[in-house]
Chains A and B, each alone.
Chain A
Amino acid sequence: MIRRLGLIALLCLLPLLAIAQAIQPLPFRDRAEEVRFQKLSTELRCPMCQNETLADSNAPIAHDLRRQIFEMMQAGKSDAEIKAYLVDRYSDFVLYKPPVEPKTWLLWFGPLVVLAIGGMVVAVQVRRRARQAPATTAAANDTEDDW
């Protein structure tokens, strides 16, 4: 019984192994550098798996690109320079937040346009009903005046 419990307890620890192996550790100089690396790699998309960030992905290319980002950070490159480097090779696809430019205007402002159209429809409806309503509300008010 105790042996079995022990075995179950050990099995429960197995998922930890996956976490330990998921991402190979990089030799960061300090905590700030690690935080910067983590932030940058969650803003970039893995080209292979496409719905994972570079930080999360275990694809070989994600591993290589993390190494590349790390080396560029060590070489003193800024976040913008590192992003530009990747965009030059893998296009805007790698950016989770695409740049605002004419061909992405629809993407950025489309929802606002839809919201504005919806707002206009509501406004028109409200006004139309207000125009139709006075007779009935006036009548209602009349009865209320009797109180």
Chain B
Amino acid sequence: MSRFLPLIAFGLLVALFGFGIWWNTAHDQHEIVSPLINKPAPAFALPVLGDDTRKVDKQSLLGKPYFLNVFGSWCIECVHEHPVLSVDVKQLGLPLVGFNYKDDPQDATAWLAEHGNPFDVVIVDRDGRAGIDFGVYGAPETFLIDGKGVIRYKHVGPITPDVVAKEFRPALAALAKEGP
């Protein structure tokens, strides 16, 4: 028995390191699972891009689920995500709220003019304070908020067609099952 002890120890180490490699490839190391999921979205009241006199707040968006997409003209991944947002996410039929995060409003307007504007409304969080309340730590990030104002799902990083099929659609299906 004691003769096999080194072999057993070696086998255990192989299993441990193998598990570590599998774990690291199966999980996105940059994703922090948001503690806000299934909790009410934080209250916010932010000006609309291009019209500072108009404000959109949490109350005015209640009643129907919507997507909140955190983006910025400075964000490279947002350009990659943009076509998916404009086509695949749009097809899901939910209102799409743009959350312009830590950006110059002029740059944001120019960015939307250049790439196209998939959003129903764009709100501006210029200094990132509302972003902190949402637990935002970069862009892009996308939240699904239900009609009662509860955050149901969050995606960190660019949306791909795969993410829409494997995550967005099931999340929406779960919402639809609950009824209005």
| Bound-state Cα–Cα, A60 to B129, Å | 12
| B-chain residues with CB within 8 Å of residue A137 when the two chains form the complex | none
Interface of A is mostly: helix
Interface residue A48 (Cβ < 8 Å from any Cβ of B): yes
Which one of B29-37, B91-99, B110-118, B170-178 is at the A interface? B29-37
| B-chain residues with CB within 8 Å of residue A68 when the two chains form the complex | 129, 132
| Bound-state Cα–Cα, A91 to B138, Å | 15
| Bound-state Cα–Cα, A117 to B131, Å | 47
Query: Contacts A47-B32, A60-B102 given: A90-B128 contact, CB under 8 Å?
Result: no
Interface size class of B (residues with CB under 8 A): 10 to 19
Q: Which of A50, A60, A90 contacts B135 (CB 8 A)?
A: A90
Q: Which residue of A lies closest to B131 (CB)?
A: A64
Query: Contacts A48-B137, A61-B137 given: A89-B36 contact, CB under 8 Å?
Result: yes
| A-chain residues with CB within 8 Å of residue B134 when the two chains form the complex | 89
Q: Which of B129, B132, B134, B135 has the most CB of A within 10 A?
A: B132
Interface residue B133 (Cβ < 8 Å from any Cβ of A): yes
Q: Which residue of A lies closest to B32 (CB)?
A: A93
- Tell me the smallest distance from the CB of A2 to a CB of chain B, in Å: 45
Complex interface residues of chain B between 1 and 52 (CB less than 8 A to chain A): 29-30, 32-36
Query: Contacts A48-B138, A60-B102, A61-B138 given: A87-B35 contact, CB under 8 Å?
Result: yes
Q: Mark B144-176, 1 if CB is under 8 A from A, else 0.
A: 000000000000000000000000000000000
| Bound-state Cα–Cα, A6 to B128, Å | 44
- Tell me the smallest distance from the CB of A96 to a CB of chain B, in Å: 14
A47 near B137: Cβ-Cβ < 8 Å: yes
Q: Which of B29, B36, B134 has the most CB of A within 10 A?
A: B36
| Bound-state Cα–Cα, A88 to B102, Å | 21
| B-chain residues with CB within 8 Å of residue A87 when the two chains form the complex | 35
Query: Contacts A60-B128, A64-B128 given: A90-B32 contact, CB under 8 Å?
Result: yes
B residues near A (Cβ < 8 Å) are 29-30, 32-36, 102, 127-129, 131-138
Among all A-B residue pairs, the 5 with the closest Cβ atoms: A47-B137, A89-B135, A91-B35, A61-B137, A64-B128
